[in-house]
Structure 1
């Protein structure tokens, strides 16, 4: 199959390139716009309590909403606010109201804190439901400018925090991060490919090809999302860039290393490209299938934000694979050996290659390599048992110097930490009006809960059958302590203290996080095992073996555990953070498990190929490391370096993601695929391929290459 594909592409390169160009233009021109959503109701199933509370609020209190922003006032000298200062705050609120700032619907001063250290003005804004809607963030910008003009010349200083302000600061931090990642990706690909191949042509090839196909990928994702009504999270776009450049560059590297190898073996350029597609096609197709399965398994998630990632990233990988097997070979077949210009190093095998020495050492002592590499994976994996997820995305997604972060901390001087995002408790009767005694008694029960700072007077619906209580927690709404309060005593008391004939639900951001945590635990128990079984089936079909898939998938999940352990060690134990961002295991699953399988498949496919050449298991391992090691090292270095650049973005969330993924890819490439897999395969020997015949010679590929060489005149092959 791959031999026929290679021959067709090499014979008809212009046709292949033309079809690709037409497809890209057609898809980009006809695809709908790819839009994202941030509505939590789109991501959590309706049976969760937080979503039921949201539905109650929308039905009974459609105009009730948590303030979009909070203006925090305090004295510049840190002293308590005076009566004159309180009057200044009231005047400032009035002046800001008079400004009629666009999309600011209400500005209301609140009483000063009991210790008089801070005063707060609540700001309501036009509601937005899409990350592309910039009305609130634009309003925060205008409000910040007007605020500084208002307090100028007074003894007060002020800043804006709250959800809208945090979103603005997160966007600014995110844009900076994306710029850093984009530049780092391109620079790393260019520099490393220049070092490896010493050719600007090969260095530019992934940039040009992936840049072109990305338009088709975005269009296809938009089409699929519209056709199946998938809710796309706003993180998809940034992940797509990394997946496309990461996986796409990997596949191009796999092909070009094999192409150069066949040229060095004496084949002419066209025959070498056919051989490269023939020999590497099955390996990268199987690797892509494993990655697509890993991403596709996310469709089993109960969370819409994760479920939408599956098809989107699977489409990106499928298009990258198709381009790697058709578009890239077509371009290279036209260029021939000019693709290596101006270098001549492709003409001969380097002497004293480092990977040949490493492979030889591994082949002689596979037990030692298996023990050391496996021991490292297990040791780091044990540290992962201390993983604690945290939902503190507001502070960790921006720099410590951002205004929303600074004044969120200043707010704590006088107000409960939950002031920025209070929880809501909705008490509903079966249709009858709630009595004042019921409302008062119920509020008293809520007030007595440990971890609750304040409970507002109840707000009643029009028919007085539903009451809304604003519950301010003592702890920050995304903190572990706040989640424990909502999950435990707040929900317990809210349910048990509800008068007969009524029921209660707890809503708000903290309640949503509690339900997210429960849903994620369920998803991890379903998605990971299903993905493992399906990936094992791919490995079994590729290797025609019932033995190898078991230790290969075990090594991949050992790599996953080791990566999580490394992140726990650095951020929880060494830096003292309370936990790691709650999405980190999923993100690691997307990149470490999927790409770790990618590298494993490339290595084990070469191990089988060397075994079928007649080498004994130890020699086969040595040859596999010698020939495939440079490819895996180059691909791993590019990807790890790209993700490591996220650590320069200046916020803790991206630092954790960048560190974990870069370390995970490094473990997958330089520990798991380079040492653990070949050493274990060498120890198991020919039984690794049972019941297949991995050690038998495979004459088919050689016969296909001979037939191609005979059918082509010398002039066509040059």
Structure 2
């Protein structure tokens, strides 16, 4: 029997896949398919594939109290860190880097704290950060933070870094718990039986049961169902807890049986006959309870529960077969250097049991009085999903998170992405207005610190309104007109300035054409007509190489009578320009744009 268990454990350890390789560490795989977050992820992957990332992290650079991260060694370090992260994009570890050192003004402003002390560099990982490989990717990214200049602190935080730190802490805790459990089992058995042999029996039994359970569940995970990366952790904890109890029941009863009859085999048979039913009933309740988790909606539970139930079943079979076989082989040697003896009356436990049975009412009252307040208090506890709070404050990811919470916003480490879908589209004034309303509505949700959307990223919200756009153009044209009047003509203006003015007119013409495409009704607007005529005349006066195309042909409107300019970006000024002809046309252009603006 012992040989069969050993051979089975060896075969499964060799032939079965590694449970850590088979296990799925991306927790999204265990979510029901209909949850909004997965639906949003599918839409994000379809419409914004370049922004789709399994996990992200935040590099936090702290210049120190009284110092600015945008100057001196701190800013040089931010630039170097950006270069290092971008190198990881090239090698496939990261997919995207957003840094204040390589971003536009508005984005850079959002990545630097209001006090200027802290800057963040956001990185997206190319693959999901989960398991040993994911943790290695996080460690590789974190290694880019070193070395930091003197006085500058750098941390890697965000969801990927926190998850990696949490996984490391969980595994370390399980390792510590496992060794502590083994130590306690050994110490307790040494105290009770005063034998160095007795502790080896449950350790050997549970060790083989674990190896076999690990192999069986790994095979199931490789071919039939999905298992979590934490399943192996659950198996270790439950097996060493429950399995050790089963073995202790058997060893304790075997000792008493051997004290009566020193014949080993009959003692083992009586032990299993008496205790077998007890441990089977105990294990059955655990197995049934864990198996019912298969009906849970969350995949993490409906996969882990049955897996641990299988491990408990294997531990039970090992307790009913392997442990008795070991006891049969060892006999009295299981308690060496002492001999098996019966339990005798006397001592603390005899006194305690007698006292409890003589005063049952008092015992019940005291126990209820002590436990009832704890039960009531427990009902008021709230579930907490704060992973950061479970980690040590010295963990770099936690220190980075706390730095962000102090200088920026704690939510900047892993912001939520709200995906909005509107069949009517957001690329119209009405759509942009709906988007702004949604951003404002989200901002009113409790504990939402900041909402960053398309509207909020603009330097000025008026940039989205056609009326404000036209007003800005009117201001530019009017300033050009005033400059010509004040300088006394075109001759005093440099060639470079003239070319910039020509390029500006080209861009204005392209803008009006785009406006006509989006709002065909403005083609008949007097202000639009006046603006187009003024631009056409200015192009002729300046001798610009900028061909005109009819708006009607471009828009497919045969009845259109007004032409809109469509000039190439490379239009150049040719020959001398008559200032007396330019100024009036600029005035007409200003008036036309103002008139057109009244319609928006």
TM-score range normalised by the length of the shorter chain: 0.5 to 0.7
Which of 21, 27, 38 matches 1:40?
27
CA distance in 1, matches of 2:188, 2:74: 61
Which of 140, 152, 165 matches 2:149?
152
Task: Decide whether aligned partners of structure 1 residues 227 and 83 sit closer, same or farther in structure 2, where only a CA change above 3 A counts.
Answer: closer
**How far 1:32 sits from its partner (Å)?**
3.6
Aligned to 1:164: 160
CA distance in 2, matches of 1:41, 1:142: 24
CA distance in 1, matches of 2:249, 2:342: 19
Aligned to 2:192: 196
Task: Decide whether aligned partners of structure 1 residues 100 and 425 sit closer, same or farther in structure 2, where only a CA change above 3 A counts.
Answer: closer
Task: Decide whether aligned partners of structure 1 residues 270 and 62 sit closer, same or farther in structure 2, where only a CA change above 3 A counts.
Answer: same
**Residues 68-467 of structure 1 mapped to structure 2, 5 A cutoff:** 68-81=56-69, 83-84=71-72, 87-88=75-76, 90-97=78-85, 99-100=87-88, 102=91, 103-110=93-100, 111=108, 112-128=112-128, 130-134=130-134, 137-149=135-147, 151-153=148-150, 156-229=152-225, 231-266=226-261, 268-344=263-339, 346-393=340-387, 395-430=388-423, 435-448=428-441, 449-450=443-444, 451-458=447-454
Task: Decide whether aligned partners of structure 1 residues 88 and 282 sit closer, same or farther in structure 2, where only a CA change above 3 A counts.
Answer: same
**Residues 281-680 of structure 1 mapped to structure 2, 5 A cutoff:** 281-344=276-339, 346-393=340-387, 395-430=388-423, 435-448=428-441, 449-450=443-444, 451-458=447-454
Report the secondary structure of 1:455's partner residue.
coil
CA distance in 1, matches of 2:6, 2:328: 17
CA distance in 2, matches of 1:75, 1:386: 43
Report the secondary structure of 1:347's partner residue.
coil
**How far 1:44 sits from its partner (Å)?**
1.9
Report the secondary structure of 2:46's partner residue.
helix
TM-score (norm 2): 0.67
Q: State the Cα deviation string for residues 624-654 of structure 1 (Å, max 9, x = none).
A: xxxxxxxxxxxxxxxxxxxxxxxxxxxxxxx
Q: State the Cα deviation string for residues 83-135 of structure 1 (Å, max 9, x = none).
A: 5567435523444256557413433313222232311111222212642323x
2:57 matched to 1:61? Answer: no
The answer (yes or no) to whether the contact 2:424–2:431 under 8 Å persists in 1 is: no
Measured on the aligned residues, the alpha-carbon RMSD in Å equals: 2.6
**How far 1:161 sits from its partner (Å)?**
1.3
Task: Decide whether aligned partners of structure 1 residues 431 and 216 sit closer, same or farther in structure 2, where only a CA change above 3 A counts.
Answer: farther
The answer (yes or no) to whether the contact 2:174–2:233 under 8 Å persists in 1 is: yes
CA distance in 2, matches of 1:441, 1:85: 44
**How far 1:433 sits from its partner (Å)?**
6.8
Gaps of 5+ in 2: 101-107, 456-600
Q: State the Cα deviation string for residues 135-181 of structure 1 (Å, max 9, x = none).
A: xx4344344443333x325x533222112322333344334323322
CA distance in 1, matches of 2:133, 2:70: 40
Task: Decide whether aligned partners of structure 1 residues 141 and 38 sit closer, same or farther in structure 2, where only a CA change above 3 A counts.
Answer: closer
CA distance in 2, matches of 1:428, 1:99: 35
Which of 32, 39, 45 matches 1:52?
39
The answer (yes or no) to whether the contact 1:38–1:130 under 8 Å persists in 2 is: yes
Report the secondary structure of 1:324's partner residue.
helix
**How far 1:254 sits from its partner (Å)?**
0.5
Aligned to 1:652: none
Gaps of 5+ in 1: 1-15, 460-718
Aligned to 2:572: none
Task: Decide whether aligned partners of structure 1 residues 339 and 222 sit closer, same or farther in structure 2, where only a CA change above 3 A counts.
Answer: same
Q: Which has the larger radius of gyration?
A: 2
**How far 1:333 sits from its partner (Å)?**
0.9
Q: How many residues get paired? A: 437
**How far 1:375 sits from its partner (Å)?**
3.6
**How far 1:197 sits from its partner (Å)?**
0.7
Task: Decide whether aligned partners of structure 1 residues 419 and 432 sit closer, same or farther in structure 2, where only a CA change above 3 A counts.
Answer: closer
Task: Decide whether aligned partners of structure 1 residues 179 and 75 sit closer, same or farther in structure 2, where only a CA change above 3 A counts.
Answer: same
**How far 1:377 sits from its partner (Å)?**
3.1
CA distance in 2, matches of 1:81, 1:249: 57
Task: Decide whether aligned partners of structure 1 residues 349 and 90 sit closer, same or farther in structure 2, where only a CA change above 3 A counts.
Answer: closer
**How far 1:434 sits from its partner (Å)?**
5.0
TM-score (norm 1): 0.57
